[in-house]
Amino acid sequence: MLTAKLSWPAMMAQLSSILMQYIDAAMVGRLGADDSAAIGLVSTSLWLFWGICSAVTVGFSVQVAHRIGASDYDSARKILGQSIGACLAFGCVVSLIGVSISFYLPQWLGGTEEVCGKASLYFVVFVCALPVLTMNYLGSGMLRAVGNMKVPGGLNVLMCLLDVVFNFMLIFPSHTFNVGNIEIVVPGAGMGVLGAALGTVCAEVVTAGLIVWYLLCRQKDMRIYQKRDISFRMQANVLKNAFRISAPLTLEHAVICGAQIMVTVIVAPLGVMAIAANAFAITAESLCYMPGYGIADAATTLVGQSYGASRPKLARQFGYMTVGMGMVLMTVMGIVLYITAPAVMSLMSPVEEICLLGTEALRIEAWAEPMFAASIVAYGVMVGVGDTVVPAIMNFGSIWLVRLPIAAVLAPTMGLAGVWTAMCIELCFRGSIFLVRLIRGSWLKHGLKLSDCNVAPPQPDPNV
């Protein structure tokens, strides 16, 4: 029951994020081919920057989950105070790097003269907002660490709604609607690609402000606005542990983004239809694995707090429970995906050939959903104890050593179906190795040592 209670808001947050991607794609698609190409050209690079900023916050939120589990709320608040300064500084540095390459990046990626200018503009708006977005990631992660899934989940839904409103007002020009004899004018800035970036950033700024305010002023046991003894000065042991957790996540994300680019390189020779079908199928599949990532967030919280309370048996039980739940839900989603694949692709594109290729790809991928769930949720379980190095190696090793070679071999003869067959094989392999490691329990031996955090863990209950 507790697992379901924590998982449901997290899944809703994932759903709102995915719906925001759908909405953005639909709105941007109406701008024209050049504008859509400009945004698509730098989207993978933005995922890389977003992922790096998200990963650095995990190093602090996992430590807070351990302190909450040990009922050491003073230490949890101190880590929160340090995390704000560290993450803001990191976000600013990454933002400066992004701004410095924003003019050259579209050209490095092979963009044409028609799209490079707009792509640079779109990219620079997002990277300038990285410090604020990092606070959004940090606030959401800290609230989840203390077991509050409802507030970040609800605010992410709000961000989705605000994104629609801001995008509509900033992307398109003013519209006039006639309702009976009444003429209604809906204002619009008509900013196109720039409006698409600014609309999403505005939604993120509002959401980040609300999340940080709630965390610092309203969240029980974590609010620090009245705590005069809270120091924002960095402590070496906290930074060391944060680096130990976050560094593998950051490296893993960078390598996975590189693999996504390589998959695009493999698909590109198959033709325009295959490229379009591959992109639409990836977007369509995102709804399928949404429950897995929601449950993984809950698993990180439950396992982290249990581990911090020196209850390894309970942490292991939560690990098994959340992985099992994720596999069941994503199996159901896989069945739904297999059945509804033609209808889903028809919503994405009116071109019959694209729909046929995408449907075939989605039905291949549907077979991998149970094991994909195992890898997603087991990863969240291991992050909960601070074990990130080996899982990161498993993730990007599986992608680069299994998926990409098989895709390169199968694509020339099987086309797009070969690429997605390689993906299916790799996800099944990855899920299997994560399940083996979960059952063996070695992840519990590679977590953060509470003694390294200057926390005196409570004596474990002999009856547990």
Question: Are residues 180 and 227 located together in one domain of the fold?
Answer: yes
For helices 2-29 and 312-348, angle between their N-to-C axes, nearest 10 degrees = 30
Q: Is 301 domain-assigned?
A: yes
- In this prediction, residues 293-302 reach a mean pLDDT of 83
- How far is the C-alpha of 7 from the C-alpha of 4, rounded, in Å? 5
- How far is the C-alpha of 254 from the C-alpha of 44, rounded, in Å? 10
Question: Are residues 223 and 170 located together in one domain of the fold?
Answer: yes
**pLDDT exceeds cutoff 90 at 246:** no
H or E segment and range at residue 48? helix 33-69
Question: Are residues 285 and 424 located together in one domain of the fold?
Answer: yes
Question: Are residues 272 and 373 located together in one domain of the fold?
Answer: yes
Quick: pLDDT tens for 136-173: 888 888 888 887 877 887 888 788 888 888 888 888 77
Q: Is 37 domain-assigned?
A: yes
Residue 17 CB: number of other CB atoms within 10 A?
17
Contact 96, 49 (CB under 8 A): no
Quick: pLDDT tens for 364-414: 999 999 999 999 999 989 988 888 788 888 988 898 899 999 999 999 999
In this structure, what token pair is assigned to residue 304? 């982290």
- Which residues make Cβ contacts (< 8 Å) with residue 90, sequence separation at least 6? 53, 56, 134
Question: Are residues 208 and 131 located together in one domain of the fold?
Answer: yes
* pLDDT score at 462: 34
Burial of 353 (0-12, 13-18, 19+ CB in 10 A): middle
- Which residues make Cβ contacts (< 8 Å) with residue 379, sequence separation at least 6? 296, 391, 395, 434
- In this prediction, residues 303-308 reach a mean pLDDT of 83
Evaluated on CA atoms 246, 446, 13, 140, the torsion sign reads negative
Q: Is 275 domain-assigned?
A: yes
Of 234, 260, 276, which closes a domain? 234
- How far is the C-alpha of 387 from the C-alpha of 441, rounded, in Å? 11
* pLDDT score at 10: 54
**pLDDT exceeds cutoff 90 at 426:** yes
Q: Is 212 domain-assigned?
A: yes
- How far is the C-alpha of 391 from the C-alpha of 374, rounded, in Å? 12
**pLDDT exceeds cutoff 50 at 97:** yes
Quick: pLDDT tens for 36-50: 666 766 777 787 788
Question: Are residues 359 and 388 located together in one domain of the fold?
Answer: yes
Q: Is 240 domain-assigned?
A: no
Q: Is 84 domain-assigned?
A: yes
- How far is the C-alpha of 39 from the C-alpha of 34, rounded, in Å? 9
Question: Are residues 314 and 173 located together in one domain of the fold?
Answer: no
Evaluated on CA atoms 51, 298, 386, 433, the torsion sign reads negative
Q: Is 193 domain-assigned?
A: yes
In whole numbers, what is the pLDDT of the chain averaged over residues?
A: 80
Question: Are residues 149 and 226 located together in one domain of the fold?
Answer: yes
Provide the residue type at 121 as one letter. L
**pLDDT exceeds cutoff 90 at 418:** yes
Q: Is 242 domain-assigned?
A: no
Look at the chain and report how many structural domains it folds into.
2
Phi/psi-derived region of residue 188, left when phi > 0, alpha when psi is between -120 and 50, beta in every other case? beta
Question: Are residues 357 and 448 located together in one domain of the fold?
Answer: yes
Question: Are residues 359 and 267 located together in one domain of the fold?
Answer: yes
Of 199, 234, 269, which closes a domain? 234
- How far is the C-alpha of 157 from the C-alpha of 428, rounded, in Å? 32
Residue 452 CB: number of other CB atoms within 10 A?
12
Contact 380, 297 (CB under 8 A): yes
Quick: pLDDT tens for 50-87: 878 888 888 888 888 878 877 888 888 888 888 888 88
Contact 172, 190 (CB under 8 A): yes
Top pLDDT among 24 and 94 is at: 94
Q: Which of 45, 393, 83 is nearest to 243 (CA)?
A: 83
Question: Are residues 318 and 209 located together in one domain of the fold?
Answer: no
Question: Are residues 112 and 203 located together in one domain of the fold?
Answer: yes
Assign 9 a pLDDT band (cuts: 50, 70, 90): low
Domain extent for 180:
1-234
H or E segment and range at residue 136? helix 130-145
- How far is the C-alpha of 142 from the C-alpha of 212, rounded, in Å? 10
